[in-house]
Amino acid sequence: MSELRTLQSPYGLVGRDAKPRRWATLDLYPPFRLTVLLLVAAIVLLPLLATAFGGFKEVGELRTNPLGLPHVWHWENYWAILSGARYWQVLGNSLIVAAATVALTLGLSSMAAFAFAHLRFFGEQFLLTYLTLGLMFPAAAAILPLFIQVRDLGLLDSYTGVVLPQVAFSLAMATLLLRNGFRQLPSELLDAARIDGCGYIRYFLYITLPLSRPILSTVGIIAFVGSWNNYLVPLILLNSTALYPWPLGLMDYQGQYSTAWQLVLAFITLTILPAIVIFVAAQRWMVAGLTAGAVKG
């Protein structure tokens, strides 16, 4: 009977009498795991801390002590940024562009993802493949035709001219993420809603969206951070300094012959704080949204 319970395979014995290989069940020792986590955390935090501490130093100390703590804490560097109107102007521009980008990305991608998840139509696979190929298309390769198109539409040097390209570059990934998230909802919900006379639009608005908050939060955060840190698109499409977002606002501290690096580092620290705060606050939703659709039950 033991021969019937145990089978020989190319990977070893399988069956009730088979014992798992040692390497398959071997877990990492807690000290080793802790060491790896601390190393990864140091790699991530070191540039952030060096940037934040660099804002408290003078230019001479930045050259001699770029990574260490400041010998003298120059709080006036940060105060010079916060007390200036330019910082709040570029911060407001970035918030306007990022908020519009997130709203349009979530609205358009959620409707497209719902159609891909629940509707069957001619050309569905072709469009889905087309979106997937869009993930491999670099934004820098489209700068020249993008500039010509925006110029022909009369949208140069405007918020709209920056928001629409950012939404276009975000739609592919947002639609695919939301499609996988929507497909995880039980199909019985749709069947019950159709029996009760609920159409696709009401099902989308009152059932799908409320139950998909984690993946919607994930897509929104990704779109926000991408828009907040975007440098190339505003650089090409904006001419007026009054409309510059914060990545272009760094040029105010760069002169023809010198750069106030302590002010640049202080400015970067203050402008990346909103993105870090939003990311940390929504970390739980990020993990839940990214894992949606990863495992099929």
| 3-state per-residue secondary structure call for 85-149 | HHHHHHHHHHHHHHHHHHHHHHHHHHHHHHHHHHCCCCCHHHHHHHHHHHCCCCHHHHHHHHHHH
- pLDDT for residue 153: 92
The domain covering 89-291 belongs, at the CATH homologous superfamily level, to MetI-like (1.10.3720.10)
Using DSSP, state whether 225 is helix, strand or coil: helix
Where are the CATH 1.10.3720.10 domain residues in the chain? Answer: 89-291
Count of C-beta atoms within a 10 Å radius of residue 133: 10
- pLDDT for residue 3: 46
Cβ 109 vs Cβ 219: under 8 Å: yes
- pLDDT for residue 24: 44
- pLDDT 10s digit of each residue in the chain, 297 long? 444 444 444 444 444 444 445 444 445 567 788 888 889 888 888 888 888 998 898 888 888 888 888 888 889 989 988 888 888 999 999 999 999 999 999 999 999 999 998 888 888 888 888 888 878 878 788 888 999 999 999 999 999 999 999 999 999 999 999 998 898 888 888 888 888 888 888 889 888 898 888 889 889 988 998 999 899 999 999 988 889 998 888 887 776 667 788 888 888 888 888 888 877 777 766 665 555 544 444
The label of the residue with tokens 């950012």 reads 166
Residue 46 token pair: 């070191």
Contacting residues for 292 by C-beta, under 8 A, at least 6 apart: 180, 181, 184, 214, 215
